[in-house]
Amino acid sequence: MLQLKQVINKPNFFKVQQCFPVVIQKRHESNPKLETEKGPKHPVNHCLLMGYAGFKYYGMEYQKTVETVEQKLFNAMLENKWITKSDYYKTRRIRYEHASRTDSGVSAARQCCSLFLPVGVNVQELNSKLPDDIRVFGLKQVVSGFHARYYCRSRTYTYTLPSIAFSHYNDQASQREYRLSSDKLKLVNELLQLYKGLLNFHNFTIKKLYSDKLSRRKMLHLECTPPFLVDDVEFCVIRIQGSSFMMHQIRKMIGFFLAVVRGVIDKSLFDLVFTDRIINCPTAPGLGLVLESLSYEDYNKHYSGIYEALTWEEYDEDVKQFHEKFIQQSIVQTEIRDEITLQWVEQLLNYPYIPVDGDITSNIHKAYI
């Protein structure tokens, strides 16, 4: 049998820890102060809170050929000697993990990453090496087996869009003229509740079958906020909290839902989209999608009084300022200038929701009438 010290030093320690949490944690973490006394030559596990405006990046994950958020983050950490060149090319050495992968063009107000770093590194020095649209807000020591993705219990995303996206497909109002009625807002929120609960979202992602267990995802809370005005254009924010999400899932949820709201397809299609029937769901633009927050509720309860809680309230004002300046402002101004969402929803009428060889009656799709 491997000695406990050998097990702890292995890269997959977090898996062992989940299987034997009490034994390992009591022996290895009974005194977290010991970790802080090792100095910079002995890195310890940290959770890093960051935000980024993802409009010009090809997603969160590192890629060799294109600019990504992680590429910028790793470059800055290397320049500040937080990591070595070996760590840069083999991030498994520092057990780097992010909590939620974001697609190309998608932003994050609060993203968390776990990684082993020297104790006492300076966040401000790191930020000085990062572009303005990427910001590290804080850094906290965490239990050795902490994994940013596996320990996260829920993710909350927001989707900002002009309210004209909810208009009927025959409505001739301009983006500046349209105003959302209270009845329409009520309908929007009622339809969003059809996503709530544990459902099979195989139609809302790619390369997933109905029989795949990973296609089942649990949505915890969905709502659309009352509209607000920016330069005479009305906007709304849709908030979706779920335990986890698959690639393109939220954007396809928004796209399918808007097709129903606009009267392009019938509400009854909601009864089929979670079954084994194949339904094509349109993918909404990534511009308005933002990772808003992450919940580590179970971790915070389990390690209360031992490690700092990963609630990050002390950085709320910094996050708010960054979000308003670099994310929200860019979303609404781009929508006002380029009408990204308006142009996209106008294409919903001709979208092939139903496969050619499908046997669903054509009256479900209003465009076929």
Q: Which two tokens stand for residue 140?
A: 């906290």
Q: How far apart are CA 91 and CA 113, in angstroms?
A: 12
Give the residue among 300, 206, 288 at the shortest CA–CA distance from 240.
288
What pLDDT shows up at residue 7? 45
What pLDDT shows up at residue 366? 43
Are domains 42-151 and 154-292+323-368 of this chain identical in fold?
Answer: yes
pLDDT at 328 over 90: yes
pLDDT at 8 over 50: no
Q: Regarding the domain delimited by 154-292+323-368, which CATH topology (the fold level of the hierarchy) does it fall under? A: Alpha-Beta Plaits (3.30.70)
Q: How far apart are CA 13 and CA 345, in angstroms?
A: 47
Q: How far apart are CA 118 and CA 121, in angstroms?
A: 6
May I ask the CATH class of domain 42-151? Answer: alpha beta
Residues 6+ apart with CB under 8 A from 176: 232, 233
> Domain spans of the chain?
1-29, 42-151, 154-292+323-368
Q: How confident is the model at residue 356 (pLDDT cuts 50, 70, 90)?
A: confident
Where on the phi/psi map is residue 81: left (φ > 0), alpha (ψ -120 to 50), or beta? Answer: left
What pLDDT shows up at residue 212? 96
Query: Is 351 annotated as ligand-binding?
Result: no
Give the residue among 181, 188, 178 at the shortest CA–CA distance from 233.
178
What is the phi/psi pair of residue 240, to 5°? Answer: -130, 120
Q: How far apart are CA 101 and CA 291, in angstroms?
A: 9
Counting every residue written for the chain, the total comes to: 369
> Which tens digits make up the pLDDT trace of 149-181?
999 999 999 999 999 999 999 999 999 999 999
The larger pLDDT score, comparing residue 7 to residue 128, is at 128
**Which residue among 87, 103, 133, 171 is the active-site one?**
103
Q: How far apart are CA 14 and CA 349, in angstroms?
A: 48
Helix boundaries (H) for 171-273: 182-192, 249-261, 270-273
pLDDT at 363 over 60: no
Give the residue among 101, 93, 92, 117 at the shortest CA–CA distance from 69.
101
Q: How far apart are CA 291 and CA 135, in angstroms?
A: 14
Helix (H, G, I), strand (E, B) or coil at 125: helix
- Looking at every residue in the chain, the average pLDDT score rounds to 89
Q: What is this structure's pTM?
A: 0.85
Cross-strand bridge partners of residue 51: 135
Q: How confident is the model at residue 41 (pLDDT cuts 50, 70, 90)?
A: low
Q: How confident is the model at residue 355 (pLDDT cuts 50, 70, 90)?
A: confident
What pLDDT shows up at residue 42? 73
How buried is 211 (Cβ within 10 angstroms: 0-12 exposed, 13-18 middle, 19+ buried)? exposed
Does 103 qualify as catalytic in the annotation? yes
Least confident of 32-46, 93-107, 210-224: 32-46
Residues 6+ apart with CB under 8 A from 174: 164
Task: Identify whether the C-beta of residue 293 lies closer than 8 Å to the C-beta of residue 109.
Answer: yes
Helix (H, G, I), strand (E, B) or coil at 72: helix
* CA distance to 31, 34, 154, 156, 363, per residue, from 296 (Å): 22, 24, 8, 12, 45
What pLDDT shows up at residue 194? 98
